[in-house]
A = this chain, B = another copy of it.
Amino acid sequence: METYRVLFHIDEGSVARANTVLHNIQNLIDDLGEDTVDVALVANGEGVRAVIKSPNVHKGRIKRLAEQGVRFLACANSLRFFGLTEDDLLDPVDVIPAGVSELVKRQAEGWAYIRP
């Protein structure tokens, strides 16, 4: 287990918000070191736009963060709501049944929560 475990939460669809969140995650890893921190990004609501294949200006950065061990988790309820499927998501992204449940369960296990 890493020393620190952190949930980032994105539920807004703007490019600016996704940019902030991804920037935050990279800063965290650069500062603490990728062996010291486990990071998961939970995307729900319009936040799922951040992890779709297209249009997506953040592809390269998401790929690089995934290579550093960041988990990208998209809410199945939200995908259904927007008519999206797993095929519409970038490769490193996993689908979870409900974004909010993930946020609740991991906090109960001691994960920190950051909502940029």
Q: CB distance A6 to B114 under 8 Å?
A: no
Q: How far is the CA of A43 from the CA of B49 in the complex (A)?
A: 26
Interface of A is mostly: helix
Q: How far is the CA of A28 from the CA of B24 in the complex (A)?
A: 26
Task: Please indicate the chain B residues that have their CB under 8 angstroms from the CB of A44 in the complex.
Answer: 24
Q: CB distance A104 to B11 under 8 Å?
A: no
A interface, size bucket: 20 to 34
Knowing A4-B105, A104-B37, the reply to whether A114 touches B9 (Cβ < 8 A) is yes
Q: Which residues in A have some Cβ–Cβ distance to B below 8 Å?
A: 4, 6, 9, 11, 20, 23-25, 27-28, 30-32, 37, 44-45, 75, 77, 97-101, 103-105, 107-108, 110, 112-116
